[in-house]
Amino acid sequence: MLNPQHILSISQHLISNICTLKGGAGLAYIPGLFMHVKGKSGKNIINKHRALTRFDPQVARAIEAEVRRQQDKIILIASENYVSQAVLEAQGSVLTNKYAEGYPRARYYGGCEHVDVVEELARTRAATLFGAEHVNVQPHAGAIANLAVFLAVLKPGDRVLGMGLDHGGHLTHGSPANISGKYYQSFSYKVDPRSGYLDMEEVRREAHKVSPRLIIAGASSYPRIIDFAAFAKIAQEVDALLLVDMAHIAGMVAVGLHPSPVPHAHFVTSTTHKTLRGPRGGMILCQNQFARAVDKAVFPGIQGGPLMHIIAAKAVAFKEAQTEDFYNYQEQILKNARVLAQHLKELGFELVSGGTDNHLLLLDLRGKGITGRDAELLLDDLGITTNKNAIPDDPQNRMTTSGIRLGTPAVTSRGMQEAEMKQIADLINKAIEGRGDARVMARVKREVKNLCAAFPVISEKII
């Protein structure tokens, strides 16, 4: 009988030699979930992770179903991606067992000598990657990173100027629904509703009128390059601090394919997923003069013990981002976004700002006679996952919207290129134009299934 160590050794050997055939059967591996996938048989995934299946089959089945969803659907949500096997392994490691309140060499618990190494690797790699003077990698999310900056330099009631949520900004940039708009006086600037671009003179006028303590640049649905130098100049004019939230563009910034905010801003926050393709989490980059205040704001100001397994996965992602493969990946994200945008325009779709400079595009669907919510539901039923999104001065409410947001990071991780972007644009157009026609819907669903089978998620290419 094989002992557990022998079984583990065999499994690792199989994993290292994994091969997934396009559209066919193959061994698929996600750390913690070792499965055999039946290609076209339609049979359920056989879960070999016996401990989870035996103890909690409901969770195991939900994970299996999510694996199938990520394989069988075209993911066009701009903030989602597929992480590498190395990132997954770090995130699923025994570091989850360790409590480590504090910072390297200044912890409130013993036994932190190894997690200190991990956190230092994450901090130094991020600092090198982005040219930052100081980095805090402990925030559990981008929202926490933004809040920590607020806590570090603002007092309740201070004025904050950020991009309006209804014009492409983020909830944490001063929305009245969020703590950033409840504890602080929040004001917003907008994009030009006709061009879809930021008007920096309008931002300047608003800043001089408001006299904010903090100006926030960055967006969640703005498809154009932001002029960080112009924001820095405006902040200097009104004696404000500048925070840039680069969550969506961090991957492109890391490789130099998008202007960096680091030389211009007092603080830069980001998630570590999205285009950076790391684990779900956040980080703060700042000038040395704010290092102590930022660190104290994160811990003990907002958080307790850091998630050391997530920090390990961040360290791995930062190392991946230093490779030539990652540069090529970011380059392809941009190519794919431009082709997708152009082909959709040729098919009669209206794009806010007329196109894209980054990984995302925003469609105004009013000319197609469908709301964002209905388009999201329609497309998802056919295997294309998007998200409804407000357009500037949207006449619809935020749960309905007049637009959808599309992004190319996840499909690019699957290996799709320009030809597939044209195919996806055609599928979106067929679905929206042919809605209500059962034959068209069946044809689109079949084409989506074939495209997904040709670019498997669970392969060496991604994990």
Active site residue 274: yes
Choice among 119, 206, 245, 357 that is catalytic: 245
Q: Do 248 and 179 share a structural domain?
A: yes
CA distance from start to end of the chain: 31
Rounded to an integer, what is the distance from CA 441 to the centroid of its chain? 30
* Residue 429 · residue 344 · CB < 8 Å: yes
Rounded to an integer, what is the distance from CA 157 to the centroid of its chain? 31
Q: Do 153 and 269 share a structural domain?
A: yes
Q: Has residue 205 got a pLDDT over 50? A: yes
Q: Do 351 and 212 share a structural domain?
A: no
Choice among 107, 274, 314, 430 that is catalytic: 274
For the chain, how many residues are written? 463
Q: Do 100 and 44 share a structural domain?
A: no
pLDDT for 193:
87
Q: Do 127 and 253 share a structural domain?
A: yes
Q: Do 232 and 361 share a structural domain?
A: no
Confidence of residue 458 (pLDDT cuts 50, 70, 90): low
Domain that holds residue 213: 93-320
Q: End of a domain among 269, 301, 320?
A: 320
pLDDT in tens, 408-448: 999 999 999 999 999 999 999 999 999 999 999 999 999 99
Q: Has residue 34 got a pLDDT over 80? A: no
176 lies in some domain: yes
Residue 75 structure tokens: 């993911």
Choice among 68, 80, 89, 101 that is catalytic: 101
Active site residue 197: no
Beta bridge partners of 411: none
Q: Has residue 44 got a pLDDT over 60? A: no
Number of neighbours of residue 358 by Cβ within 10 angstroms:
25
Active site residue 446: no
Choice among 20, 271, 272, 371 that is catalytic: 271
Domain count of the chain?
Answer: 3
pLDDT for 38:
37
pLDDT for 35:
30
Q: Has residue 214 got a pLDDT over 60? A: yes
* Residue 72 · residue 383 · CB < 8 Å: yes
Active site residue 325: no
pLDDT in tens, 55-90: 999 999 999 999 999 999 999 999 999 999 999 999
* Residue 171 · residue 165 · CB < 8 Å: yes
* Residue 85 · residue 31 · CB < 8 Å: yes
Question: Which runs of consecutive H residues, i.e. helices, occur in 347-406?
Answer: 372-381
Choice among 38, 68, 99, 345 that is catalytic: 99
pLDDT for 42:
35
Confidence of residue 45 (pLDDT cuts 50, 70, 90): very low
Q: Do 352 and 247 share a structural domain?
A: no
Number of neighbours of residue 14 by Cβ within 10 angstroms:
12
In this structure, of 22-31, 62-71, 181-190, 333-342, the range with the lowest mean pLDDT score is 22-31
pLDDT for 1:
38
Q: In the predicted model, what is the mean pLDDT of residues 188-206?
A: 96
Q: Do 344 and 201 share a structural domain?
A: no
240 lies in some domain: yes
- Cβ partners under 8 Å of residue 70, min gap 6: 82, 457
281 lies in some domain: yes
Choice among 280, 338, 414, 430 that is catalytic: 280
pLDDT in tens, 391-404: 999 999 999 999 99
Active site residue 271: yes
Q: In the predicted model, what is the mean pLDDT of residues 205-224?
A: 97
Q: CA-to-CA distance for 84 and 86, rounded, in angstroms?
A: 5
Q: Do 309 and 363 share a structural domain?
A: no
Q: In the predicted model, what is the mean pLDDT of residues 244-264?
A: 98
Q: Do 354 and 294 share a structural domain?
A: no
Q: Has residue 463 got a pLDDT over 60? A: no
Torsion sign over Cα 89, 92, 95, 99:
positive
Active site residue 461: no
Helix H, strand E, coil C: the string for 233-246 is: HHHHHCCCEEEEEC
